[in-house]
Amino acid sequence: MTKINTKTINYLLGLVLPIVLFSSCKKDFLERPPTDAIVDANFYKTDEQLAAATSLLYNKVWFDYNENPAFSFGDIRGGTAFRGYNERGNVEFNTTDITPENRRAWSSLFTVIGQSNLAIANIYRYGGPALTEGAKKTAIAESRFMRAAAYRFLVMNWGEVPIIESNLTLLNDPRVTKNTVPSIWRFLTREMRAVAADLPEVTPAGRVNKWSAEGMLARFYLTRAGVEATGGARNQSFLDSAKYYAHRVITMSGKSLMTVYADLFKYPYDNKNESLFELQWEFLPGNAGYGLGNGAVSHFNASGEISAEGWGGDKAATWWMLSKYEGFAASGDTMLQGRTLDQRLKASFMLPGYSYAEITRTVGGVDIKPYVVPFTLDAQRNFANIKKYTIGQGKDFGMPTIEPQRYPNNTYMLRLAEMYLIYAEATLGSGASTSDPTAMQYFNAIRTRAGLSPLSDLLGNPLPITLDDILNERFKEFAIEGMAWYDLVSLHYWNPTKAFSILNSQDRGFYYITPDNVTNPSVWTIKKTPWANPPANPRMINANAGNFRIPIPSVEMAQAPWLSNPAVEYP
């Protein structure tokens, strides 16, 4: 494999060179040309070759973002998860221009953009006469979809960034100008509308389709309603558009919520009916497989006893996240106690005593199944580690072996459940609450799927939905899916005071969990413990206008100082 330089400007210039694809895949739609075959004029001859060329946009180009930054930004900065001993800058909301995850995310997202641009250029340049117009239109739409998906992450993390629709424009002048945030969002919605018009309603499993694009439009318009808010009120036209597209996907796509929430993450779950867009990962042994498998799982596994590698021993739910699950009652400021009927807790985080039938634990060469999360007396490591995306050892999912950073399970990028909550939020708009019957139906469908009752008072009377209700459901529904931070950025566009208030209410400190029974618990006691080195590691953060936006990586600014120039409107 030829690895392209990922330094922003030099990297983007390098993208005018031929792209190298990879061979072999367990999923039919990811069939590729032979290993190290160069994609050139000899490759874009048939519809099958074209599909193979765009297949790389579903995994390899996203590898660096998915492996760590998606979690570091989406969950750690968002406050749903923390690390006890590493990535303290992200935990403490102090991501700087030299934070490793910052540079890696920036480079990875521009990789997606550059490779998407290259795919489009190659289709126009090399497309052979045997290619059908339908195949070309679909492949270009897929590439534009991926480019827009990457730009969403860029604008929400760094704000003003340059829009680059063609790598060739950088040949004569590599200087790029940042574009304003509102104009980037105009570009994103315009792009995705074109994509939705060009993608077919039905595509091979794993490929994005019209409903994937309309789901993205619902997401984009909900955020854009805040970007173009006036006087603290979101733009009603864009709220209506978000509601319109969410409703279309819910009622017309043929998609449906999976009955059991935990099944969303029990392998094999890839490309099931709730999915609208997934990164498509596969396991290949040896050097050829690196970058094609799901690298994040290696970072989530809490222990080598339940996986080939367990690097997630200090990754866990925050105290604040655990406090969101109904059934845990606070005792003063230092203790939570109780249990929850919310099935999302067990599916997302491992509390001591939880049992997982799908996972094998190997201790001293002896296999034990089901896996019962052990209770430890180590007060500095006893917290709710990550369960979501953790699928066990190779023997648990039908593979004789597994190598680090190349798990086969996909990454969710857009699920139908989000359409339900987008519809509810778009209906709420800038109001204090809504009792709209359809909004309440969709909102409560997410709760009941999780094992909770519809939102009601103590007498069982239905309650109207507030923004806090919706945000709390989003935090629980999408924990460890890299979503919380982007939900807060979307909120910040139109209500920064509320976004800061949520972030500054999050306790991100150590805690100690005690089950009432170590093998079959019914009640857990969660006590706060002192930080390892107080006050150097504070429990709370101070999110404000000065640290909310992530700074452009210093190495990029050094290589492209023109990125400090004022942003301009994008056409």
Q: Are residues 47 and 179 in the same domain?
A: yes
CATH number of 100's domain = 1.25.40.390
What confidence score (pLDDT) does residue 533 get? 56
Question: What does the pLDDT read at residue 35?
Answer: 33
- Residue 234 domain-assigned? no
- Looking at the structure, do residues 173 and 312 belong to the same domain, yes or no? no
Residue 144 lies in a domain: yes
Same domain, 322 and 368: yes
Compute φ and ψ for 267, nearest 5 degrees. -70, 140
Q: Do 137 and 166 reside in the same domain of the chain?
A: yes
φ, ψ of residue 536 in degrees (nearest 5): -60, -30
How does DSSP classify residue 56? G
Nearest-angstrom CA–CA distance, 445 and 451: 10
Do 131 and 22 share a domain, yes or no?
Answer: yes
**Res 40: pLDDT:** 53
Do 304 and 200 belong together in one domain? no
Q: Is 333 exposed, middle or buried (0-12, 13-18, 19+ CB in 10 A)?
A: exposed
Per-residue burial over 148-165, b = 16 or more CB atoms within 10 Å of its CB, e = otherwise: bbbbbbbbbbbbbbbbbe
- 259 contacts: CB under 8 Å, gap ≥ 6: 449
- 512 CB-contact burial (10 Å; exposed 0-12 / middle 13-18 / buried 19+): middle
| DSSP 8-state assignment for residue 267 | S
Ranges of the chain whose pLDDT falls below 50: 1-39
Indicate if 398 and 367 belong to the same structural domain.
Answer: yes
**480: alpha, beta or left? (left if phi > 0; alpha if psi -120 to 50):** left
Strand partners, 368: 361
Is 252 inside any structural domain? no
Residue 439 lies in a domain: no
Express each pLDDT in 302-347 by its tens digit: 999 999 888 999 999 999 999 999 999 999 889 999 999 999 999 9
Q: Which domain holds residue 514?
A: 296-404+509-528
pLDDT of residue 285: 83
Whether residues 321 and 205 share a domain: the answer is no
Whether residue 274 is contained in a domain is answered as no
Tokens of 133: 């117009």
- One domain, residues 170 and 25: yes
Domains identified in the chain, total number: 2
Query: Is 487 within a domain?
Result: no
Q: Is residue 469 a part of any domain in this protein?
A: no
Note whether residue 538 is domain-resident. Answer: no
